Structure 1
Amino acid sequence: MATLLLPLTILSLVAAGIVAGHNVTISLLDSAIAKGAVCLDGIPPAYAYSPGFGDRYDNWHVFLEGGGWCQNVDACLDRARSSNGSSAKLMSTQNGIVSFGGMLDANSTFNPDFYNWHVVKIFYCDGSSFMSDVEDVDPKYNLTYRGARIYDAMMDELLRIGMGNAKNALLSGTSAGGLATTLHCDKFQSLFHNTTRVKCVSDSGFFVHGEHFMGADWREAFFFSVISTHGLANMLPTSRTSKFSSTLCLFPENLVPDIQTPLFLIESAFDSYQISQNVFSPSDTSPRWISCIRNLMFCNWTDIKIMKGTHS
C-alpha cells in the first residue's frame, strides 16, 4: 500500500535538476510495431537509456514521462502532431538527444543516491497515462490508442537487456507519468524475482477528485472523457471498479489503498498545474486571478482559501 504522502513546496526531485544533466540518445523501439505498441500517430514509441556503472550496476530506474491527457478526438489529433503524440515529432524537436537531470542525472554531486543506476526514460506519446489498448485504429482520423501496449513493449525490451536481474528497481514519473506510475506500480513489481527490492515514486501525479472542493464536477467530467476516448473502463483495477465508477478509479485517492508495492507520493502543497490549469481555479479566470496565482500579494481571502483547499 502507499507508504508516504509528502506535501512539498520545494522543486520536484524527479523532474528538475540543479544544473543541466548529461545528454542521452533517444531511440525508437522498432520491435514494438509487431506488438501494435505505437503512438497516437502510429509511429513506434521512443525511449532513452543510460547504462549503470560501478557498485550500483545491478540497480534500475525507469522514468515515465508526463504531459497531460487528450480527452477527445480533437485534442488527440492535436497531440498526434506534437512530441507528446508522435515519436517522429519528438526526434525532430529534440534532435535525437535528451538531457537527464534530477534523479536521472549521472552526476554524483547532484544525484548521490541514483547517479550510477541504469536509467531509462520512456517518452509519453499516447495521452492516456500508458493505459489504453484499443485494437481498432480510428478509421476517420487514423489515431491509435495503445498506451498500455507501449508500456508492456518497453518492459519487455528492458527485461531483454537485463533489468530482470536487478537488485533494486524503481519506477517513477511526473504529472500524467506520476499517475501512470501509480496505475502500473504493482504490475512493475510483478516483473521481478522476490529478491528484488521494488519501489515506486509518483511526483506531482496525485490528481485529486476532491468532490467537496471547487471544480470537482469539472475534474470528474474531464477524466470521464479521457476514459471514454481511450477505452479505459476495462483497463482499470477491478479491485477499484468493483467499488467505484471507472471515472473515480482514475483518481489516485481511490487507487492507492489497494497498491501493495511501496509507493511514495510527492506533491507540492500548491501544485501549479492543479491550481492554475483549470483544475482548482475558480470560474473567474480573469487576469486578477492569474496574478494571484503568480503572486500571493494579489490574492484575496477567498483565493487563499481555495488554494489551501488543495492540500487540506
Structure 2
Amino acid sequence: MTTWLNFAVVLLLTCAPWGAQCVYKYRLPVSLTLVKNTTATTLGAYCLDGTLPAYQFNKGFGSGIRNWLLHFEGGGWCNDVESCLERAITRHGSTNYMDKVGTFSGILSDNVSLNPDFYNWNRVKLRYCDGASFAGDSKFDNGTKLLYFRGQKIWQAIIHDLLPLGLANADKALLSGASAGGLAAFLHCNEFSSFLPKTATVKCISDAGFFLDAPDIAKHYTIRTYFNDVVSLQGVEKNLDLKCTSSVDDPRLCFFEQHLLNYIRKPVFILNTAYDVFQLYNIFVPPTADVLKQWSHCKHNITTCTTTQIETLQAYRQLMIQTLDDFYKHSASGGMFIDSCFAHSQIERQDNWFAADSPTVQKKKIAEAVGDWYFERTVTKLIDCLYPCNKSCKNLLPA
C-alpha cells in the first residue's frame, strides 16, 4: 500500500514559472527541538521508529508575546505495517531523518510585510512522524519489527513542552495545519482549548484537510477504506470525538472533517481548493479507479482534459460546496476560503499566503481572509467561481 506522503513529483515546483513572487524567497531558519526525554518517556511519545518527536519554535515578540500559533506539519498517512515500516525510515517517521534546521514562511513568517497578522506571535511547527494525523495510540511488535503509533502522545508531549514556555498563559491562540496536519488541527481543536486559560481566544484552521468522504470515478469509496485502515491499525478510534463517534454508523468516519465539523466547539476556518490536486490524484481518480489510464493526461495537465472530464471535475467541486453548505449558512463563527485553483496546502507557501500576486477570492488574499476571520473584522466566507474563472491562481498543474 502507499504511504500517500505528498506526491512530491507533482508538488515540487520552484517560483520560476510565476516570476514576480520570486521576490518572496525570505525564509526564517528555525532549529529543530526534540521533546524532552522525560516528557516523552512519561507519556510514551515516540515517532514510528522509537525516536523522540520534535518541533520548531520561534519566540514571539512585541504585542504578540502572549499569542500562540501552533501548526501541524502535513505528510500523508500509512495504513498497514509495510507502508509504516517504509515511512519509519523517512523524515515522516523518524527525527533521525529530519533537517536540524528548517524554515518558516507563509503563516509562520516573522516578517510583518509577509504575514501581517501573526508575524510576532509565538510560532510552533509540530513535526509529523507518526502517520495518523497525530491521533494514534497503539504499537506493533511481532518480536522482530517494532512500530510506535503514538501520534496522540506526540501531540500531548509537545504541548507539555510548550506550556512552561508561555503557552499556559496565552491570550490568543490559533491551531493550524496543512493536509494531514490540517486534519490534525480539527481533530485536536477541542482538546487544544482545554490546555489554555478559559479567557484565551482559541480558534482552529485547516488548510487542505477537508478530504471528501466521497466515491471515486469508479464508484468505490477508496479514501474511506484507506482511512478506516489507518484508524484501525494505529488505534485512532478511541481518540476521536465521542459525540461524533456516537452519532455515526461507523466511528471511524469521524476521521473525516466533514463528519467531525459539527462537533468542534471552537471557531474554525476551512481553507481548501475545490480542485485539490491531492484529492484528484488519490481520492477522486486514484490509479485503482483508472486502470485504463484515461485520466493520465488530464491529471498532469488540465488543458488536456476532455469536456466530459471537466464536467466531472465540476461535479466534484459541486459536491464539496454542497457538503459545506450547512457550515456556510449556519456557522456564525466559522470562516471559509474555497478557491478554484489546482493546488494543495497553501498556508505555508508565501506566494499563496500573502504576496503581491497571491490568489484572491472576491478580491481577498488568503492571509487577509484568515486575519479578518480570526480578529472578527468581518464575516469571511468566500467561495470562488468555477474553473477557469480565477486568473490569480497559482496552479500546481498547468491550467
TM-score (norm 2): 0.70
Shift of 1:50: 0.3
Which of 179, 190, 199 is matched with 1:175 structurally?
179
Shift of 1:297: 2.1
Structure 2 counterpart of 1:231: 235
Shift of 1:240: 1.3
Percent of aligned positions that are identical: 38
Shift of 1:216: 4.7
SS at match of 2:117: coil
Of 280-289 and 37-46, deviating more is 280-289
Q: Residue 66 of structure 1 contacts residue 176 of structure 1 at CA under 8 Å; is this kept in 2?
A: yes
Q: Do structure 1's residue 117 and structure 2's residue 125 form an aligned pair?
A: no
Q: Do structure 1's residue 76 and structure 2's residue 80 form an aligned pair?
A: no
- How many angstroms apart in 2 are the aligned matches of 1:138 and 1:196? 45
Structure 2 counterpart of 1:308: 314
* 1:265-294, Cα deviation, whole Å (9 max, x unpaired): 101111110002x21116226665232123
Q: Do structure 1's residue 99 and structure 2's residue 103 form an aligned pair?
A: yes
Give the residue type in structure 2 aligned to 1:306. Answer: T
SS at match of 2:317: coil
* 1:188-211, Cα deviation, whole Å (9 max, x unpaired): 111112211011010000011025
- How many angstroms apart in 2 are the aligned matches of 1:87 and 1:212? 35
Structure 1 residues 149 and 299, CA gap change in structure 2 (3 angstroms):
same
Give the residue type in structure 1 aligned to 2:234. Answer: H
Shift of 1:235: 1.9
Which of 236, 244, 262 is matched with 1:257 structurally?
262
Shift of 1:295: 2.4
Structure 2 counterpart of 1:11: none
Give the residue type in structure 2 aligned to 1:194. Answer: K
- How many angstroms apart in 1 are the aligned matches of 2:25 and 2:316? 30
Shift of 1:154: 0.6
Structure 1 residues 64 and 300, CA gap change in structure 2 (3 angstroms):
same
- How many angstroms apart in 2 are the aligned matches of 1:265 and 1:129? 17
Q: Do structure 1's residue 66 and structure 2's residue 70 form an aligned pair?
A: no
The 5-angstrom pairing of residues 93-242 of structure 1 reads 94=99, 96-134=100-138, 137=141, 139-211=143-215, 214=218, 216-242=220-246
Q: Residue 214 of structure 2 contacts residue 221 of structure 2 at CA under 8 Å; is this kept in 1?
A: no
Long gaps (5+) in structure 2: 1-22, 319-399
Q: Residue 215 of structure 2 contacts residue 222 of structure 2 at CA under 8 Å; is this kept in 1?
A: no
Which of 260, 274, 297 is matched with 2:279 structurally?
274
Q: Which has the higher contact order (CA 8 A, sep 6+)?
A: 1
Give the residue type in structure 2 aligned to 1:58. Answer: R
Give the residue type in structure 2 aligned to 1:39. Answer: C
Give the residue type in structure 1 aligned to 2:74. Answer: G
Structure 1 residues 215 and 18, CA gap change in structure 2 (3 angstroms):
farther
Structure 1 counterpart of 2:304: 298
Of 55-64 and 298-307, deviating more is 298-307
Q: Residue 66 of structure 2 contacts residue 166 of structure 2 at CA under 8 Å; is this kept in 1?
A: no
Structure 1 residues 212 and 176, CA gap change in structure 2 (3 angstroms):
closer
Give the residue type in structure 2 aligned to 1:210. Answer: A
In the TM superposition, structure 1's runs of 4+ consecutive aligned residues that sit over 4 Å from their partners are 135-138, 211-216, 285-288
- How many angstroms apart in 2 are the aligned matches of 1:72 and 1:83? 18
Give the residue type in structure 2 aligned to 1:47. Answer: Y
- How many angstroms apart in 2 are the aligned matches of 1:264 and 1:214? 31
Structure 1 counterpart of 2:355: none
Q: Residue 22 of structure 1 contacts residue 101 of structure 1 at CA under 8 Å; is this kept in 2?
A: yes
Shift of 1:248: 1.4
Long gaps (5+) in structure 1: 1-16
- How many angstroms apart in 2 are the aligned matches of 1:212 and 1:280? 4
Give the residue type in structure 2 aligned to 1:152. Answer: Q
Q: Residue 129 of structure 1 contacts residue 180 of structure 1 at CA under 8 Å; is this kept in 2?
A: yes
Structure 2 counterpart of 1:40: 48
Structure 1 counterpart of 2:9: none
- How many angstroms apart in 1 are the aligned matches of 2:263 and 2:103? 35
Give the residue type in structure 1 aligned to 2:261. Answer: V
Aligned residues: 291
- How many angstroms apart in 2 are the aligned matches of 1:79 and 1:212? 26
Shift of 1:309: 2.9
Structure 1 counterpart of 2:16: none
Q: Residue 60 of structure 1 contacts residue 166 of structure 1 at CA under 8 Å; is this kept in 2?
A: yes
Structure 1 residues 160 and 139, CA gap change in structure 2 (3 angstroms):
farther
Structure 1 residues 86 and 212, CA gap change in structure 2 (3 angstroms):
closer
SS at match of 1:81: coil
Structure 1 residues 243 and 300, CA gap change in structure 2 (3 angstroms):
same
- How many angstroms apart in 1 are the aligned matches of 2:132 and 2:36? 21
